[in-house]
Amino acid sequence: MTPTTTPDPATAPPRRRKPGRAVRIANVPWDMYEGVLKAFGDRRGVRVTYDRGELEIMVPSQEHEKDGEFLARLIVIMTEEFGLPLQHGGSTTLKRKGMKKGLEPDKCFWIASAARVAGVAKLNLKIHPPPDLAIEVDVTRSSLDRLGIYRSLGVGELWRLEGDDLQFYALGADKKYAPTATSSVFPGVAPSDLMAFVKQARTAMNQNTPAAAFRAWARQLATKPPQ
Dump pLDDT digits (tens) for 15-36. 444 445 789 999 999 999 999 9
Q: Which helix (H) or strand (E) holds 67?
A: helix 62-82
Cross-strand bridge partners of residue 47: 58
pLDDT in tens, 201-225: 999 999 999 999 999 999 999 987 6
pLDDT at 74 (0 to 100): 98
Could you state, in order of their start, the residue ranges of all structural domains in the chain?
61-222
Is residue 155 pLDDT above 50, yes or no?
yes
Cα-based angle 181, 184, 185 (whole degrees, multiple of 5): 130
pLDDT at 15 (0 to 100): 46
pLDDT at 20 (0 to 100): 52
Contact status, residue 130 vs residue 120, Cβ threshold 8 Å: no
Q: Which fold has domain 61-222?
A: tt1808, chain A (3.90.1570)
pTM value is: 0.87
Q: 88: closest CA among 105, 74, 109? A: 109
Is residue 43 pLDDT above 90, yes or no?
no
